[in-house]
Amino acid sequence: MSIWDPDYECMPREEMEQLQLERLQASLNRVYKNVTCYRNKFKELGIVPEDVTSLADLSKLPFTTKEDLRLNYPYGMFAVPLREVVRIHSSSGTTGKPTVVGYTKQDVKVWSNLVARFMTAAGVNHDDVVQIAFGYGLFTGAFGLHYGSEMIGASVIPMGAGNTEKQIMIMQDYRTTALVSTPSYAVTIAERMEKMGIDPKSLCLKVGLFGGEPWSEAMRREIESRLGISATDNYGLSEVIGPGVAGECQCKCGMHISEDAFLAEIIDPDTGKTLPPGSIGELVLTSLTKEAFPMVRYRTRDITSLDYTKCDCGRTTVRMKKTMGRSDDMLIIKGVNVYPSQIEDVLFAVEGCQPHYQLVVDRKGALDTLEIRIEVTENIFFDEMKLQKAFLDNVERRIDSVLGVGAVVKLVEPNSIPRAEGKASRVIDNRKI
Amino acid sequence: MLKIKNINAYYGKVHALKNVSLHLNRGEIVTLIGANGAGKTTLLNTLSAIIPTASGEMVLEGKNIAGLAADRVVSLGLSQVPEGRQVFNPLTVEENLELGAYLRYRMGGQRQEISEDLERMFQMFPRLKERRRQAAGTLSGGEQQMLAIGRALMARPKLLLLDEPSMGLAPLVVQDIFKVIRMLREEEGTSILLVEQNARAALKVADRGYVLETGKVILEGKATELLENKDVQRAYLGRDKKEIWER
């Protein structure tokens, strides 16, 4: 089992903490100088970067939330002038506007290297042929894995998402050895192969790197046995860097966080208090090396826990458990982040009033489905079927363009959706992850 | 081997170093870059106890050196080559070198070893051997710089602090000085903390660097990364300018 960056990945804890402190202080000095949003937040709390003299002092600093990114849309959180930014990505926002993130040349290099680390840990080397079945475009997933593979020296096939039969054909003909996709898409591929009568064992596939959505150990066993590969999980989010925050080694006992680049904390999502090591809570990340888009205490909303015990692979970095859920109402559907509020906005725009609606998320085979049930009101009741159909089509089209994920829209009887006291339970998630 | 945490230092009321943290591994060359008044020399002077540390931790090979007297710091293995050489002009080259070993001499002889080291210096710097009986004040700037480095090495330091070694020297001589720095690391395995106004040259020879601005560290990274960094290029390198020594 080789290690890409042993100097950093196997650094003794004491040295790592010294390096983290140095980089944290330098990063705070930079954001305080260059990013108005951070400067104002620090001033509100009456603190300056010099107040941070140890890693424990991190808890004195303000959190950064998705809302901050939205308020500073598009470039307000950048710490360098735009002319030094060589790449812009974005991710879905909670309400309409997406969030924008930027990378300098150096950031892209660092990013590639971080991805190369977890890809190496997963078993990829320069002899591999890596098929990337993530969507290219504004999402960070495909590009991150693409650069990581190139840095390792593997051969990259930038397939993009979808078109399963072509994926399988290329997998056979180009002798793909490593598959990069969402875990659910890996199952789709396995199912399609069965239908086509192709034995996965006859392929050259040996490893799968799956991310973008939460998945269970049961699903890992299913993918591993059906495709005959070693499947590993990796974690990242575009607000922080994209893939490359953490990834599993072959011990498959948690994802190693690249601690020289990110400081990880676990907090109580309700009180914001830092929790002791080992507790389950919300993951908060602080970037240590990023130039264009530094992050101070970003609330990921992902629920997990951190394990500081030594891993058998030799890496000394802390491991995070597979994410166990969210501390907000975000849904991950086919690897795309979806907020109920986005759907609400679309319905409001179409109808002009707040409808009663319910979201039903399910998994058919391995693919997620989203159904939106809307209660019929006077405004959207049509005598003619044709008008009714046109209305539904219109809603579906808009949902698709806003979310980037298709949904089925259905009308239901008035008052058939249960009204909950206080916060309406708008989401029914029937997937068993 | 060297670990510094949250060092603060003052010149009168001026807060010259603000919570500076840095480290240096054995055999590494680390450079500090920054504009005039950023605190580079101050940091070296605090390390060698020339100016007092207001607060913070400094640990050399597991031993605390914060608050110690300058001679204690030297005996623990840290020698500084000061800015502007500061050789003893009226003394001969040989006497200057011998003074570098003064602490070793006083603390228990080692005369044999000291004279061996003297010969080693002459091997390393043949020019100094030619001029061993000459008064140091009569040497050229480059020769004086070599003498200052040799004098510091006579204390057998584990860590060498070099303050502006190329200052005021002709480009070709600067080239020689950087050759010496490379040789010290490659042949002697000396760890070096280098302050240099010629940021590009310093980053070319160093493994890692820290960028200081108004007494604060704003960037840490591999020297190759810092060379590529736009902030560093804009502020300290002069983007397209090539120095004579690298043409």
CB burial class (10 A; 0-12, 13-18, 19+) of residue A244? buried
Query: What are the sequence ranges of the domains in chain B?
Result: 2-241
* Exposure b/e, A83-109, CB count within 10 A at least 16 = b: ebbeebbbbbbbeeebbbbbbbbbbbe
**Could you give the count of Cα atoms lying within 13 Å of A233 in the half-sphere of its Cβ?**
23
Interchain contact, A84 vs B230, CB within 8 Å: yes
Q: List CB contacts (< 8 A) between B216 and chain A.
A: 25, 29, 49-50
Is residue A151 within 8 Å of A116, Cβ to Cβ? yes
C-beta separation of A90 from A298 below 8 A = no
Q: A26 and B219 in contact (C-beta within 8 Å)? A: yes
Of all residues in chain A, the percent with pLDDT exceeding 90 is: 67
pLDDT at A155: 98
For residue A210, which of A233, A243, A229, A242 has the smallest C-alpha distance?
A: A233
A291-315 pLDDT, tens digit per residue, is 999 999 999 999 999 999 999 999 9
Min mean pLDDT across A56-65, A97-106, A256-265, A355-364 is at: A355-364
Contact B176, B183 (CB under 8 A): no
Q: How, if at all, do strands B55-60 and A331-333 pair?
A: unpaired
CA distance A120 to A339: 34
3-state secondary structure of A359: strand
- CA of A259 vs chain B CAs: smallest distance (Å): 15
What is the pairing mode between strands A325-326 and A298-307? antiparallel
Residues of chain B with Cβ-Cβ distance to A23 below 8 Å are: 220
Strands (E), A113-260: 129-132, 155-157, 178-181, 207-210, 230-237, 242-248, 255-257
Residue B137 has pLDDT above 70, yes or no: yes
Question: Has domain A71-328 been given CATH number 3.30.70.20?
Answer: no
Phi, psi of A267 (to 5 degrees): -120, 165
3-state secondary structure at position B220:
strand
Give me the pLDDT at residue A354, please: 65
pLDDT class of B41 with cuts at 50, 70, 90: very high
pLDDT at A422 over 50: no
Cα distance between residue B65 and residue B57, in whole Å: 8
Q: Judge whether residue A420 has pLDDT over 60.
A: no
Residue A350 is predicted with a pLDDT of: 77
- Highest average pLDDT, of A254-258, A408-412, B185-189, comes from A254-258
Establish if A53 touches chain B: CB-CB under 8 angstroms. yes
Please spell the DSSP secondary structure of B112-135, one letter per residue: HHHHHHHHHHHHH-HHHHHTTTSB
A-chain CB neighbours of B230 within 8 Å are 80, 84, 104
CA distance to partner chain A, nearest, from residue B159 (Å): 18
pLDDT at A423: 46
Q: CB distance A53–B231 less than 8 Å?
A: no
pLDDT average, residue stretch B159-180: 92
Given an 8 Å threshold on Cβ–Cβ distance, is B19 in contact with A19?
no
CB of A67 closer than 8 Å to CB of A257: no
CA angle A145, A149, A150 (to 5 degrees): 120
- Note whether B227 contacts A: Cβ–Cβ < 8 A: no
Q: Looking at CA atoms only, how far is residue A294 from chain B in angstroms? A: 13
Neighbours of A82 (CB within 10 A): 11
A319-323, A362-366, A367-371, B192-196: the lowest-pLDDT one: A362-366
Distance in angstroms (rounded) separating the CA atoms of residues B141 and B25: 31
Residue A388 burial (CB count, 10 A): 15
CATH of domain A336-429: 3.30.300.30
Do the Cβ atoms of B23 and A22 come within 8 Å? Answer: yes
d(CA A267, CA A301): 10
Residue of A nearest to B25 (CA): A15
A-chain residue closest to B229, CA distance = A106
DSSP, residue by residue, A367-393: EEEEEEEEE--STT--SSHHHHHHHHH
Indicate whether B243 pLDDT > 60.
no
Q: Which of A25, A84, A291 sits opposite B19 (nearest CB)?
A: A25
pLDDT category at A113 given cuts 50, 70, 90 is: very high
Residue among A29, A57, A289, A290 with most chain B CBs within 10 A, to mutate: A29
Contacts B23 to A, Cβ<8 Å = 15, 18-19, 22
Please give the CATH architecture assigned to the domain spanning B2-241.
3-Layer(aba) Sandwich (3.40)
Which sign, positive or negative, has the C-alpha torsion A364, A369, A375, A379?
A: negative
pLDDT of residue A425: 64
